[in-house]
């Protein structure tokens, strides 16, 4: 019963096999091999346009180096106040950008509120050196609480950004989970809406270590190879990241895996909805669930070996959680089984 995080899962067998297949032989290093290039072509096909693709080691690297690519001196990047970049990346966005400030914007259900965003933008008028200058907006898809922005909601943010000539970054650590939820295409969910830079995550969805920064306009990436190198994120045997992505995309493995994770989350949500010891804090869009659980049930589950984390209570829930309750997070993955779900739900009661 492993619901602590999708990064507790291992590697999908097809990805493991492909790595082994590519293990022998020589290939040029630092992202120049035939395999690297073939996988870059695949990204272009998937996104239905020329994109520039840069592999990096971690999701935090993808986000922080995206921010570094957009950074301006004294710059401010706006995101949801509970975004991973603010709460969970140990200051990497600030550090790797040379001091860009991540400024939080409110919004219920894990999503940026467009009116609050507009008013935050107005705090940083052009030319006001004391407040700093805006460098961009970052939204997370799926969000930190597992909700998924609709295409219209992405439009609203991108439209506002465009009015202020601000680039938009998408943190897609769980890109695939959001994509299958919306039943749309990568192009529709990104550049057709106005997304400029994407952190494309593969690790949480069955890779060992496969993250990429995707620029929708390759012409804007002149400095990025240097940004990546000076951040020590350029792999020598880069082809092994490529090998993971090759298998990830083959036969739509990535979509199948994400769909499985989401389905498992729905199954668990159904059980929680009829539980007498738990209720969901938010609707379940993708592969994360946030049940408010009676403390005694939490303890029982942990005693029986279920792995999951309590979650810090956000502002909007402060009045909704009782003294004998705990907000928890459950995450499903490509590797979650129906048996695990049922066993967990039975124990929850």
Residue 89 as a binder of a second copy (CB under 8 A): the answer is yes
Residue 167 as a binder of a second copy (CB under 8 A): the answer is no
Do residues 230 and 69 make contact, with C-beta atoms less than 8 angstroms apart?
no
Residue of 142, 223, 154, 147 lying closest to 195 (CA atoms): 154
Smallest distance from a second copy to CB 271, Å: 20
Give the SS3 label for residue 109: helix
Q: Give residue 74's region: left, alpha or beta (phi > 0; psi -120 to 50).
A: left
Site for a second copy in 25-54 (CB under 8 A): 25-30
Near a second copy by CB under 8 A: residue from 53, 68, 139, 345: 68
Residue 16 as a binder of a second copy (CB under 8 A): the answer is yes
Residue 101 as a binder of a second copy (CB under 8 A): the answer is yes
Q: Which residues pair with 140 in a beta bridge?
A: 171
User: 94 vs 285, which CB is nearer to a second copy?
Assistant: 94
Do residues 298 and 281 make contact, with C-beta atoms less than 8 angstroms apart?
no
Applying CB under 8 A, which part among 16-24, 137-145, 245-253, 256-264 lies near a second copy?
A: 16-24
Near a second copy by CB under 8 A: residue from 53, 64, 195, 277: 64
Residue 96 as a binder of a second copy (CB under 8 A): the answer is yes
Residue 339 as a binder of a second copy (CB under 8 A): the answer is no
Site for a second copy in 279-338 (CB under 8 A): 307, 312, 335
Smallest distance from a second copy to CB 332, Å: 12
User: 24 vs 276, which CB is nearer to a second copy?
Assistant: 24
User: 15 vs 156, which CB is nearer to a second copy?
Assistant: 15
Do residues 22 and 34 make contact, with C-beta atoms less than 8 angstroms apart?
no
User: 77 vs 158, which CB is nearer to a second copy?
Assistant: 77
Near a second copy by CB under 8 A: residue from 9, 39, 148, 306: 9
Site size for a second copy, by CB under 8 A? 82
> x-or-dash pattern for a second copy, window 225-254, by CB under 8 A?
xxxxxxxxxxxxx--x--------------
Residue 23 as a binder of a second copy (CB under 8 A): the answer is yes
Smallest distance from a second copy to CB 264, Å: 14
- What are the two backbone dihedrals, phi and then psi, of residue 10, each rounded to the nearest 5 degrees? -90, -135
């Amino acid at each position: 019963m492993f619901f602590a995080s999708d990064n507790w899962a291992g590697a999908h067998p097809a990805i493991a096999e492909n790595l082994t297949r590519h293990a022998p032989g020589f290939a040029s290093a630092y992202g120049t091999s035939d395999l690297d290039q073939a996988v870059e072509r695949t990204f272009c096909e998937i996104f239905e346009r020329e994109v520039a693709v840069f592999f990096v080691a971690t999701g935090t690297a993808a986000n922080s180096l995206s921010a570094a690519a957009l950074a301006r001196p004294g710059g401010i990047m706006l995101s949801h106040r509970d975004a991973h970049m603010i709460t969970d990346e140990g200051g990497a966005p600030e550090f790797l950008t040379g001091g860009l400030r991540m400024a939080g914007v409110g919004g219920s259900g894990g999503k940026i509120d467009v009116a609050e965003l507009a008013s935050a933008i107005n705090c940083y008028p052009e030319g006001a050196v004391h407040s700093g200058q805006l460098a961009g907006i970052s939204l997370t898809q799926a969000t930190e609480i597992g909700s998924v922005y609709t295409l219209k909601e992405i439009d609203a943010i991108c439209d506002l950004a465009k009015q202020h000539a601000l680039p938009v970054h998408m943190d897609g650590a769980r890109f695939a989970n959001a994509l299958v939820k919306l039943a749309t295409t990568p192009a529709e969910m990104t550049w057709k809406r106005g997304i400029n830079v994407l952190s494309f995550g593969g690790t949480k969805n069955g890779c060992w270590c496969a993250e990429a920064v995707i620029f929708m306009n390759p012409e804007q990436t002149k400095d990025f190879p240097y940004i990546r190198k000076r951040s020590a994120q350029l792999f020598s045997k880069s082809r092994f990241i490529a090998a993971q992505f090759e298998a990830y995309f083959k036969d739509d493995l990535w979509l199948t895996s994400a769909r499985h994770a989401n389905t498992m989350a729905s199954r668990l949500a159904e059980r929680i909805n009829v539980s007498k010891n738990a209720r969901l804090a938010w609707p379940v869009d993708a592969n994360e669930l946030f049940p408010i659980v009676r403390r005694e049930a939490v303890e029982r589950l942990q005693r029986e070996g279920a792995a999951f984390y309590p979650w810090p209570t956000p502002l909007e829930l402060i009045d909704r959680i009782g003294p004998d309750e705990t907000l928890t997070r459950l995450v499903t993955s490509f590797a979650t089984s129906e048996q695990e779900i049922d066993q967990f739900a039975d124990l929850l009661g």
